[in-house]
Amino acid sequence: MNQIRVLSTGQIYKVDANEDLAKGQDVLVEAEQILEPAISLCTTCPKKDIESLPETKFIRIMTLEDQTRRRELKEKARQFVPEAQEKSMRHRLNMKISDAELSFDEKKLTFYFLAEGRIDFRALVADLVGSFRKIIRLQQIGPREETRLVGGYGRCGQELCCKRFIKDLDGISAQMAVMQESGGQKISKMTGCCGKLMCCLSYENAELKEAKKEIKK
């Protein structure tokens, strides 16, 4: 058994892949009768970590053709965003719809939005279902998730790590920034495009901790 996370919902399942899955590997699964892209969370998953998880159907490791279709579906889904945003304004909802995603079988359309606090979007969902004739899901996200969806370039001049290769947006703590403050940078200068602490602060955190332990000896 392997542990996977469905990307559009964040839901974690166990799957019987009948083959070894590398951590971070892109796969296709059938979750709640919807064909969904997902990622593998571990190579060899401890039994205690997966036995209580719901099980879903493993389809296959994503092929190059699957990845191409995934990009095409992404572009198609984004075409729905302007109309969805207009509808949210008609319903007088204080929310910003940032991105959208279609499931692999095009049965489900997920919209990602930013808002302060909770939003009662039941009337909006009914409106969207009527227009798009699909299962509609609205997923509230934060600034870090929005930046990964939109993309961009960091201070280093390279494409943002969260867009390029980071699968899980683990929390970046102020302690990680303090650990590197000896370089003369203030914490305020260690924020990324999302306004949060840069993901790259975690890359050398373990090594810096060990180095400081050695210095103290």
Quick one: pLDDT at residue 165? 64
Report the share of the chain in percent with pLDDT over 70: 75
Q: What is the pLDDT of residue 169?
A: 59
Q: What is the pLDDT of residue 103?
A: 96
Q: Which fold has domain 71-141?
A: GMP Synthetase; Chain A, domain 3 (3.30.300)
Q: Could you state, in order of their start, the residue ranges of all structural domains in the chain?
A: 2-62, 71-141, 146-216
Is 30:5 a contact under the CB 8 Å cutoff? no
pLDDT value for 170: 63
Higher pLDDT, 150 or 94: 94
What does the buried/exposed string (b/e) look like for 135-159 if buried means 16 or more CB atoms within 10 Å of the residue's CB? ebbbeebeebbbbbbeeeebeeeee
Res. 204: pLDDT tops 70: no
117 — pLDDT class (breaks 50, 70, 90): confident
Render pLDDT for 135-164 as a digit per residue (tens, 0 to 9).
999 998 876 676 666 667 777 777 777 666
